Amino acid sequence: MTPATASAKTQNTKAKTKDKTGPIFSRTPGLTDAITNYCPGCTHGIVQRLVAEAIEELDAQGRAVGVCPVGCSVLAYEFYSCDMVQAAHGRAPAVATGLKRARPENVIFTYQGDGDLASIGMAETVHAATRGENITVIFINNAIYGMTGGQMAPTSLPGQVTQTSPYGRDVETAGYPIRVCEMLSSLDGVALAQRVTVDSPRTVRAAKKAIKKAFEYQTEGLGYTIIEVVATCPTNWGFTPADAFTWLRDNLLPYYPLGVYRDIKAESKDDKAADTVADKLAAAKAAKAEASTGSTEAGSTAPEAPEVAPETAAETDSEVAPETAPEVAPETTSEKGGE
Ligand SMILES: Cc1ncc(C[n+]2csc(CCOP(=O)(O)OP(=O)(O)O)c2C)c(N)n1
Ligand code: SF4
Ligand SMILES: [Mg+2]
């Protein structure tokens, strides 16, 4: 038997074995058959798959609408099977707000880079969050403007070399990086703010769980949810894919610790969280109920309760225990160095 015949036979045997056992891995129907065009080692493709899987598992395929603004994610409409809307740079929260308010039964997500969300779109982000817009934001923090060739982003590290900071980010002139989850977690409209990464099977699983939880909170009407993914851009960082993951672990994760920064379900189980959105809405709901039974005087100036209040703190029950505080404390900015 020639080596070629032997090899063909081995492959046939393998194929038969595969037929018997069936596929162990397949493409999620949440994605189209299009081949993604992201660079080798880029994490955009991983995250997009996780979002698609979460949508599929929550049976939201027919109701999901994604909003992709400008950045390397701009072509994501080619990759998702669900409806997609392309927004102008930074305007995804406004587009998503309109979609969700017009079609509350739909599951709406934005997929935004750090340049998009934290630079040109920062005002929209903060205001959508503080309004408690019932949308889910997938935030890809790769510490650089990927699509346009590697300019400094609001999340680029102190000392990080980029096209617009060739001597490294100088905090004296460019300021310090913005930690988005920490900043947004102070806003009452935020139901969930969690930072994850996708550098190993374990972290990929955790990221998927977080994304799913965000969609679940949206379905329950709890408010703005954001999952920040600490991501790679090997092309513009100037690394091989493997080195990019090492750089992410050694530099980005210490500065951007993984963890849950706000989770109103977890907080509402905690006595300390007396003023969460859930508590406030529960109070508004109680006031509305009181008014409808006539116990409130006519002409009362009490604020009107929302028509559809989310579940109260006492009613909600999260099966997922909050993750512990970030394991790695952020180092001081002056100690951090990029390239
Ligand atoms: C109004 C406007 N300003 C600037 C640009 C140029 N632009 C395109 S993508 C981009 C930055 C994208 O970076 P990021 O959001 O971090 O996404 P990434 O490519 O890193 O995933 C910029 C500045 C634009 N398209 N529109
Ligand atoms: S330029 Fe960066 S963010 Fe864009 S696809 Fe390539 S590696 Fe990914
Ligand atoms: Mg970016």
pLDDT tens figures, 182-219: 999 999 999 999 999 999 999 999 999 999 999 999 99
Is the minimum distance from the CB of 42 to ligand 2 under 6 angstroms?
yes
Whose atoms come closest to the Cα of 237: which ligand?
A: 2
Q: Which two tokens stand for residue 1?
A: 């038997």
Q: Which two tokens stand for residue 320?
A: 């997922």
pLDDT of residue 91: 98
In tens, the pLDDT along 232-272 reads 999 999 999 999 999 999 999 999 999 999 999 998 765 45
Whose atoms come closest to the Cα of 121: which ligand?
A: 1
Model confidence at 156, pLDDT cuts 50, 70, 90, reads very high
pLDDT of residue 283: 61
Ligand 2 atom nearest to CA at 234: 7
Is the minimum distance from the CB of 119 to ligand 2 under 6 angstroms?
no
Protein residues near ligand 3, an ion, with CB under 5 A? 113-114, 142, 146
Model confidence at 299, pLDDT cuts 50, 70, 90, reads very low
Please give the average per-residue pLDDT across 40-61, as a whole number: 97
pLDDT of residue 323: 40
Could you give the count of Cα atoms lying within 13 Å of 248 in the half-sphere of its Cβ?
26
Confidence (pTM): 0.79
pLDDT of residue 133: 98
Please give the average per-residue pLDDT across 95-103, as a whole number: 98
The C-alpha atoms of residue 64 and residue 85 are separated, in whole angstroms, by: 11
Q: Are strands 224-230 and 190-197 parallel, antiparallel or unpaired?
A: parallel
Closest residue to atom 22 of ligand 1, CA basis: 148
**What percent of the chain is helix, strand and coil (3-state, nearest 5)?**
40, 15, 45
Angle (nearest 5°) at CA 218 between 45 and 25: 35
Please give the average per-residue pLDDT across 123-134, as a whole number: 98
Ligand 2 atom nearest to CA at 113: 3
CB neighbour list of residue 273: distance below 8 Å, 6 or more residues apart: 264, 267, 279, 313
| Right CATH for 44-267 from 3.40.50.620, 3.40.50.970, 3.90.25.10, 3.30.360.10 | 3.40.50.970
pLDDT of residue 326: 37
Whose atoms come closest to the Cα of 238: which ligand?
A: 2
Ligand 2: centre distance to CA 235 (Å)? 6
Ligand 3: centre distance to CA 114 (Å)? 5
pLDDT greater than 80 at residue 279: no
Ligand 3: centre distance to CA 147 (Å)? 8
pLDDT of residue 286: 58
Q: Write down the domain spans for the chain.
A: 44-267, 270-320
